[in-house]
């Protein structure tokens, strides 16, 4: 079992969270630079992890940096961008073999932390700009990634629905920004964005593993010492409690199968107990192979290729997404809503409820089995401002009653219907 989370402040706006766990064979250290989602800076910040991963002081180019990682027993470097609520997160992380397995007795926690600190604080920037060639390649890769999002229609449709439901809230924008913004960047403006990020970011450092966290903490403390920075607070997503009317949006592409996403509001900002009930309700509705949507919309009526529900407690949005033939769109929509009505009326078996609860508990317990899932779990909750362990969440899940599930279903109101469908208007009459 993982020990409890230990949090300490290393400097102003810099916190270290430690999860010591002797069962792992690697240590994972991540430095998360967190700033508000801002339409102006999203693309620049999304590009930074790719550029920072290209080299740093002491390992001046990509090849040298990778050779250093090899020498640290195949340490893997994580450089990524993500978002949580109204915050954009630039992550530089390193996973190193635990010291006790090092063939030559090296201090890998310390050496890994030192390398991570150099990547964060000393990327290769000359004359106020990233190296032109690296910049060009990585910017193009970012543009390609943004433009390729449309290739995966299922994910794209969900993303569009979320964006539409945000009504301009930056929290609803997507984490890479837009291709147009990426094109407007220069090697110099990216370096400016880097300096701004270091200056403004709230920093959450997470250490998970069997090793000695003080080795990592000393390195990080030194790295931040004496820096005059101006970090801001975390920004929550704007939650809209109820939908006043249903917004219908249709976009047409060259596709054979249509994708429909139903976006729901789940009530005014609620406490943890209601969130857990909503989570269980969503799983019962469309989160497992024995859920209402799976068994009825997909299996029994064969209206959809897939039909699933998900709940995001941070935005208070519940979404149902499905892949559907054009002629079945209306039938699928009314059946999806009819199944929600079933839960509202309490028409679900106790056995199905218990099986669903069991599956959720199963996945919560599994969180502690990999360093990556532990890190994701705690970082998300730290940013949200309410740290609970997976065990606490399991206990909350056990306490949810049938009535609370019915109550949760009654809080749900349909806000947006997003349809991604074929270009030719061949509606079936």
Partner 1 sequence: MLTESVASRRLGEGYTRIEHPSGLTLMLCPMKGYSTAYALFATRCGSIDDSFSIGDGEMVQVPNGIAHFLEHKLFESEEGDAFEQYAKTGASANAYTSFDRTAYLFGCTDRFRESLEILLNLVTTPYFTEQTVKKEQGIIGQEIRMYDDDPDWRVYFNLLGALYQEHPIRIDIAGTVESIAGISADLLYRCYNAFYNLNNMVLSIAGNFEIKDVVEACDKILKPAAPVRVSTREVQEPDEIRTRRVEQTLEVAAPLFQIGFKGRAKSYRENILAQVTGELVCDLIAGESTALYRELYDEGLINAVFDTEVMAGPNYLVNIFSGESRDPDAVFARLTDGVRALQERGISEEDFERARRAAYGRYVGIYGNVESMAGMMVLAKLADFGAYEPLDLLGELTLNDAQAFLRENFDTERCALSVVRGPQEA
Residue 143 CB: number of other CB atoms within 10 A?
20
Beta carbon of residue 29, minimum distance to partner 1 (angstroms, whole number): 15
CB of 366 to partner 1, least distance (A): 5
Binding site for partner 1 (CB under 8 A): 1, 21-26, 50, 61-63, 66-67, 69-75, 96-97, 101, 103, 133, 137, 140-141, 144, 147-148, 151, 288-290, 351, 355, 358-359, 361-363, 365-366, 368-370
**Is 285 strand, coil or helix?**
helix
Return d(Cα 23, Cα 42) in angstroms, integer: 38
Helix, coil or strand: residue 188: helix
CB contact at 8 A, 233 and 203: no
Closer to partner 1 by Cβ: residue 65 or 329:
65
> What is the CA angle 78-59-75, rounded to 5?
35
Instruction: Give min distance, CB of 304 to partner 1, in A.
Output: 15
Dist CA 323 CA 183 (whole Å): 33
* Shortest reach from residue 151's CB to partner 1, in Å: 6
- φ, ψ of residue 114 in degrees (nearest 5): -65, -40
Strand order in the sheet with 202-209: 6-11, 14-20, 202-209, 26-36, 87-97, 76-84
Q: Rounded to the nearest whole angstrom, what is the least distance from the CB of residue 240 to partner 1 in the complex?
A: 34
Taking the least distance from each CB to partner 1, the nearer of 5 and 239 is 5
Residue 80 or residue 384: which is nearer to partner 1 going by CB? 80
The residue among 228 and 351 lying less far from partner 1, judged by its C-beta, is 351
- 8 vs 362, beta carbon nearer partner 1: 362
Angstrom distance (rounded) from CA 379 to CA 410? 31
Nearest approach in angstroms of CB 275 to partner 1 is 21
Distance, in Å, from the CA atom of 120 to the CA atom of 325, rounded to the nearest integer, reads 48
In terms of Cα–Cα distance, which of 381, 386, 35, 315 is closest to 169? 315
Query: Three-class SS of residue 402?
Result: helix
Task: Select 362 or 401, whichever has its Cβ closest to partner 1.
Answer: 362
Nearest residue (CB) to partner 1, 97 versus 113: 97
**Residues 405, 406, 412, 418, CA torsion sign:** positive
Rounded least distance, CB 67 to partner 1, Å? 5
> For residue 129, with 0-12 CB atoms within 10 Å meaning exposed, 13-18 middle and 19 or more buried, which class applies?
middle
């Amino acid at each position: 079992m993982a020990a409890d989370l230990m949090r300490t402040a290393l400097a102003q706006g810099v916190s270290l969270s430690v999860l010591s766990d002797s069962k792992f064979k690697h240590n994972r250290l991540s430095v998360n630079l967190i700033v508000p989602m801002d339409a102006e800076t999203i693309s620049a910040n999304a590009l930074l992890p790719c550029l920072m991963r290209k080299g740093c002081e002491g390992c001046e180019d990509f090849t040298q940096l990778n050779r250093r990682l090899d020498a640290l027993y195949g340490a893997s470097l994580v450089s990524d961008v993500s978002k949580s609520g109204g915050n954009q997160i630039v992550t530089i992380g390193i996973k190193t073999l635990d010291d006790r397995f090092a063939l030559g007795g090296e201090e890998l926690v310390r050496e890994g932390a030192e390398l991570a600190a150099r990547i964060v604080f000393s990327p290769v920037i000359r004359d106020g700009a990233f190296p032109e060639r690296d910049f060009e390649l990585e910017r193009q890769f970012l543009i390609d990634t943004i433009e390729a999002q449309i290739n995966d229609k299922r994910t794209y449709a969900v993303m569009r629905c979320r964006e539409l439901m945000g009504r301009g809230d930056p929290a609803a924008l997507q984490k890479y920004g837009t291709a147009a913004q990426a094109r407007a960047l220069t090697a110099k403006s990216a370096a400016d964005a880097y300096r701004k990020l270091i200056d403004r970011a709230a920093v959450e450092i997470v250490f998970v593993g069997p090793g000695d966290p003080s080795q990592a903490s000393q390195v990080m403390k030194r790295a931040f010492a004496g820096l005059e920075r101006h970090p801001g607070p975390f920004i929550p997503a704007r939650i809209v409690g109820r939908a006043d009317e249903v917004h219908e949006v249709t976009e047409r592409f060259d596709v054979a199968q249509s994708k429909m996403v139903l976006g729901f509001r789940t009530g005014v900002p609620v406490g943890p107990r209601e969130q857990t009930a909503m989570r269980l309700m969503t799983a019962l509705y469309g989160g497992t192979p024995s859920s209402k949507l799976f068994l009825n919309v997909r299996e029994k009526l064969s209206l959809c290729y897939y039909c699933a529900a998900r709940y995001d407690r941070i935005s208070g949005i519940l979404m149902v997404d499905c892949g559907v033939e054009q002629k079945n769109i209306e039938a699928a929509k009314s059946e999806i809503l009819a199944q929600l009505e079933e839960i509202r009326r309490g028409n679900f078996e106790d056995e199905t409820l218990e099986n669903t609860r069991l599956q959720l508990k199963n996945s919560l317990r599994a969180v502690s089995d990999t360093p990556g899932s532990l890190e994701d779990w705690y970082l998300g909750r730290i940013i949200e401002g309410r740290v609970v362990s997976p065990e606490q969440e399991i206990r909350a899940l056990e306490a949810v009653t049938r009535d609370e599930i019915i109550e949760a279903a009654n809080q749900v109101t349909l806000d947006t219907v997003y349809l991604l469908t074929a270009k030719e208007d061949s509606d079936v009459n």
